[in-house]
A and B are shown apart, each in its own frame.
Chain A
Amino acid sequence: MKRDITQFVSLKVKRFTKAGIIGLILLIALSSIALWAQKSPKDKFIYPPLNPIQVPPIEQVKLSNGLRVFLVEDHEFPTIEMRALVRTGSVFEPENKLGLAAITGEVLRTGGTKNLSGDEIDQILEQIAASIETSIGQTSGYIYVSLMKDDLEKVLSLLADILMNPAFREDKIQLAKIKQKSYIARRNDDVGQITQREFAKLIYGAKSPYARHPEYATIDSITREDILNFYQKYFSPDNMLLAVVGDFQVPRMKAKLEKTLGQWPAKKVKVPSFPPVKYNYVYRVNLIEKPDVNQSNIMLGHIGGLMNNPDYPALIIMNSILSLERMFKKIRTDEGLAYSVWGRYGAGYAVPGIFSCGAQTKSESTVYAIKLMLQELKRITQEEVTDEELRRAKDQYLNGFVFNFDSKTKILSRILTYAYFGYPLDFMERLKKQVERVTKKDVLRVARKYLRPDQVQILVVGNPQNFDQSLEVLGPVTKIDITIPPPPKKAGQGK
């Protein structure tokens, strides 16, 4: 490439005066408006100013029954999307009825309403290529709606009917139970799923609301009354946030929402705060034997933290360096030990996340890979990162920041989440300002403060017959039995 430029200069020199030549050389040196010369990707690029990020006006309204709504117009396509978050979650299930939240979330939609069966709703929605889906996860209930704008009234009244008059028909409860039990039967089929699930249990505790999972017995014990109660307790307009984006006019949409969802009487529900997490740091090596695999799935780490931690911006940069600069470059690129590898201090909105490093490597390099991961982990707590690593991590975050704003749906979904967890709606913009100021010292400080390489839970799911070394070299090994408890005798036939 360099040659191209010199050729060009020598070629052009003849035509220019001295001043012209100086100007030309200057121009090439600046290489910003060199319209005719190719640059090398490693040349300095002087970019034209970026067109401004246009954050769309977000209208916030409260319907008469207390339902908070966020609205953004987007006229690019003749469609409308809605998302709602309901303050509930499987963390509020009774211990002996695990699966209740998931089943409630599913049957809310499939069980139909007092006016229409779930099957009729399926038919109506699919006939117009619209969808209404409901579900309940660990710390929130989620509703997703998509439609062509011409079908707004039909879909909106259906949505209101589903939320206000759910019937929770028995046949669909049974169907949901069959699904749940089938998931239980299948939960040890996939190594990745086993690793994630069991690692969460190691961190939060097997009985913690943040890690526990349904069993046949807990599914069997769920009744229609339990489901109705769970719904009654949490589904109310004053316990829900709604975001609407698409091809509509805000005032008309407001009126339509008021006429439908606005008619839903508020229940003044009181949802308790999310259960706290207690954590005891401990070093432990855990093994789940899987004799039919030739690759080990490895996770190691401990408890993580919250996003509203003032150190979170520095942790974002530390995560980037630990994952991309250290784990990826060492374990994957240099050593060829894994396809996917990471190291990340997880931060949750309301519940502490998990700090974890992970990789999948052939059985024969299991212990070696763990040692390397621990080594990288220690290193980031012992010495400052390099200037280059810091610069790259910050550049990645800051230069890519614009992608947080490249779709109205993305912007609105984020705002909905912030509102749900009580974060400032401009949380993302605030983070950016703080990330800009992160230094090498900050990265070392937070690594030391939040990472404890000597007190990690290590989990290996694999076939120890073929490990390069016994896992014992890392410490005493605790074997975890993941046998699925059989269903209680009487109700064990699946349907």
Chain B
Amino acid sequence: MNVKNRRAFSWGLGLLLLGCLMLSPFLQAQNFEAIAKKIKVKTLKNGLKFIVLERHEAPVVYFHVYADVGSANESYGITGISHLLEHMAFKGTKTVGTKNYEEESKILEEMDALYARIRAEEAKPHPDEAKLKKMKAEFEALRQKAKEYVITDEFVDLLMQEGDRSVNAYTSNDATQYINSLPSNKVEFWMAITSDRFLNPVFREFYKEKEVVMEERRLSVETRPLGRLLEDFQATAFKAHPYHHEVIGHMSDIQAITREDVRHYFRKYYNPANLTVAIVGDVNPEEVFRLAELYFGRIPSGEKPEPVRTVEPEQWGERRVAVEAMAQPFLLIGYHRPSVRHQDNFALEALASILGEGRSSRLYRRLVKETQVAIECGVINGFPGDKFPHLIIFYAVPARGHSVQECLGLIEEEIEKVKKELPKQEELLKYKRQAGMSLLQQMKSHARMAALLTYAEVILGDWRELFRQIEKINAVTAEDVQRVARKYLIKKNRTIGELVPQSSR
């Protein structure tokens, strides 16, 4: 039996490798057409766009609201405001989360005024400590008073008690995204609560929520060695563009941002021209559009905010950053590359895949299997975002007793190889199949599908682009891959970041 198997398998392998040269990538545009046909779109009069995909296998519906604003829209002094606003969007409205909005809002205004006076006093060359103490006590008293009007976390409770198992939101460098899921007979409830969220938001419990966000910063950046490295790596690679700072923002900015800052930011970035909604599940699109008009049609139209002005200039030379931490070494190399919309995007995706995706990729074979200097390595596009020119990053986790220098040397050798010799057809085909499969796997999930539709609509400019990706993937040639390697993977264009062990335990 073993002997028989051996032959069968060697034959299988031979056929496969041979076959690759003539086979085409197995996913074509028509594989995705059936899905694309089921999608219905409506833009309300105020400019808000709804993208709906019917899927009736289960009586559930997933919602995805994409606000085209992220930390890349922030400037000095308000870093972290996109994320803070995301937190505040869970605090309720003029009717949700309060026992008496009129009374509550008066106290909230008083708190803001007092907080400004405290900040002003603190900024003086010689702050009056006694006065500060008194003001802070007053502030705490006001906070207690305001709390009496609050119905704690009512906004989230209302959604969860209707069965929302995925109520959440995410802020990235590029976007702020709100997600929900409900039994499919509750679409109108979602319309009611979500339109209220964006029509009548009240940023209550603001000062305590800032403390929560500060804990989040400590948790995700400050106490995590890799978190610290990523923060400094971004800051080094981007000297001008706001990809420079971490999504969560600087501690001092989180502390200083005012409620008025948040309200202003909300007015600017949360108008219908800047929001896109995708709904996937057991729904009737016409009914969804009718309800959307009824509920979201109330939101006044606005202007698309001015795009980010700053463009990252060309580097003058290689940059390096070393972060010391009580941790084992870690290596990051980032090369500047253009936005995801650029024509070189898919060649760069293929490059990342050939070099760094899977156990048969070049880097894994070289660094992990052959030389055993690393236990993990890979190549990723889209860091820290992909809407603007960003980085293609190479990373390696050195094996015990090995250094980042060893990993760096080998990665450089592999990069030079791509520049010298064209990638093999089978490597390119592997990329095409894996990229197609990945797209397909993501589309299986309602939640991911909703996210992809909004992403394609906003970042790629049209939801249909999602279904055109496969053609662009399939069109990449070996020459393209080599060309982008030669163009972008150059020393002058890179930033190297490493974790330097402070003391080993």
Contact = CB atoms under 8 A, between A and B. Distances in A.
A257 B136 CA distance: 72
Nearest to A131: B358
Interface string B1-15: 110011011101100
A51 B59 contact: yes
Interface string A113-125: 1111001101110
Given A1-B95, A185-B328, A392-B157, A126 B401 contact: no
Given A50-B185, A129-B437, A407 B400 contact: no
B9 A116 contact: yes
Given A50-B185, A115-B9, A403 B219 contact: no
Contact of B188 (A39, A165, A401, A407): A39
Interface stretch (B117-125, B162-170, B233-241, B269-277): B162-170
Contacts of B505: 188, 482-484
- Sort chain A's interface into a size bin: 35 or more
A51 B16 contact: no
Interface string B143-176: 0000100001100011011111100000000000
Contacts of A395: 160-163
A53 B58 contact: yes
A440 interface: no
Nearest to B5: A115
Interface stretch (B203-211, B379-387, B477-485, B486-494): B203-211
Interface in A150-194: 150, 154, 157-158, 161, 165, 174-175, 178-179, 181-186, 188-191
Given A126-B430, A128-B433, A328-B153, A165 B2 contact: yes
B499 to A, nearest CB: 9
Contact of A295 (B12, B56, B157, B218): B218
Contacts of A426: none
Interface stretch (A71-79, A222-230, A273-281, A441-449): A71-79
Contacts of B152: 329, 333-334
Interface string A369-412: 00000000000000000000001100110111111011110000
B223 A295 contact: yes
B181 interface: yes
B152 to A, nearest CB: 5
A338 B212 contact: yes
Given A189-B225, A395-B161, A406-B446, A334 B6 contact: no
B5 A186 contact: no
Nearest to A263: B1
Interface string B384-405: 0000000000000111111000
Contact of A115 (B10, B26, B196): B10
Contacts of B153: 328-329, 333
A18 interface: no
A165 B222 contact: no
A361 interface: yes
Contact of A126 (B184, B192, B223, B434): B434
Interface stretch (A40-48, A232-240, A305-313): A40-48
A292 B325 contact: yes
A79 B193 CA distance: 37
A43 B196 CA distance: 12
A254 interface: no
A178 B400 contact: yes
Interface stretch (B41-49, B102-110, B255-263, B367-375): B367-375
Nearest to B147: A334
Interface string B440-454: 110111100000000
A175 B375 CA distance: 9
Contact of A45 (B93, B96, B188): B188
Nearest to A191: B223
A335 interface: yes
B360 A122 contact: yes
Nearest to B214: A362
Interface string A302-338: 0000000000000000000000100011001111111
B429 to A, nearest CB: 7
B13 A116 contact: yes
A157 B60 contact: no
B426 interface: yes
A222 to B, nearest CB: 16
B24 interface: no
A50 B210 CA distance: 40
Given A146-B441, A154-B12, A292-B502, A122 B215 contact: no
Contact of A337 (B192, B215, B282): B215
- Among B95, B213, B365, residue most surrounded by chain A Cβ atoms (within 10 Å): B95
A36 B290 CA distance: 9
A150 B26 contact: yes
A400 B189 contact: no
B40 interface: no
Contacts of A51: 56, 59, 184-185, 282
A488 to B, nearest CB: 14
A126 B426 CA distance: 11
A360 B192 contact: no
B399 A400 contact: no
B327 interface: yes
A161 B9 contact: yes
A127 B16 contact: yes
A79 B96 contact: no
Nearest to B298: A38
B57 interface: yes
A50 B59 contact: yes
Given A178-B372, A334-B147, A402-B183, A186 B327 contact: yes
Contact of A42 (B158, B325, B430): B158
A272 interface: no
A122 B16 CA distance: 13
B31 interface: yes
Contacts of B192: 38-41, 43, 45
Contacts of A110: 359
Interface in A178-220: 178-179, 181-186, 188-191
A42 to B, nearest CB: 6
B294 interface: yes
A129 B20 CA distance: 13
A52 interface: yes
B495 to A, nearest CB: 22
B422 interface: no
A293 interface: yes
B436 interface: yes
Given A122-B358, A335-B208, A482-B505, A47 B186 contact: yes
A-B pairs, top 8 by smallest CB distance, nearest first, are: A399-B163, A336-B211, A41-B193, A129-B437, A336-B208, A494-B401, A189-B327, A339-B216
Interface of B: 1-2, 5-6, 8-10, 12-13, 16-17, 20, 26, 31, 56-60, 93, 95-96, 147, 152-153, 157-158, 160-165, 181, 183-186, 188-189, 192-193, 195-196, 205, 207-216, 218-219, 222-225, 282, 290, 294-295, 298, 325-328, 358-360, 365, 368-369, 372, 375, 397-402, 426, 429-430, 433-434, 436-438, 440-441, 443-446, 502, 505
23 contacts: A35-B290, A38-B298, A39-B192, A40-B95, A47-B183, A48-B185, A110-B359, A115-B2, A129-B434, A185-B400, A190-B224, A190-B225, A191-B223, A295-B219, A328-B153, A334-B147, A339-B213, A360-B218, A392-B161, A395-B163, A396-B163, A407-B444, A482-B505
Given A41-B158, A483-B505, 7 more contacts: A38-B294, A115-B8, A116-B13, A119-B360, A336-B215, A400-B183, A408-B57
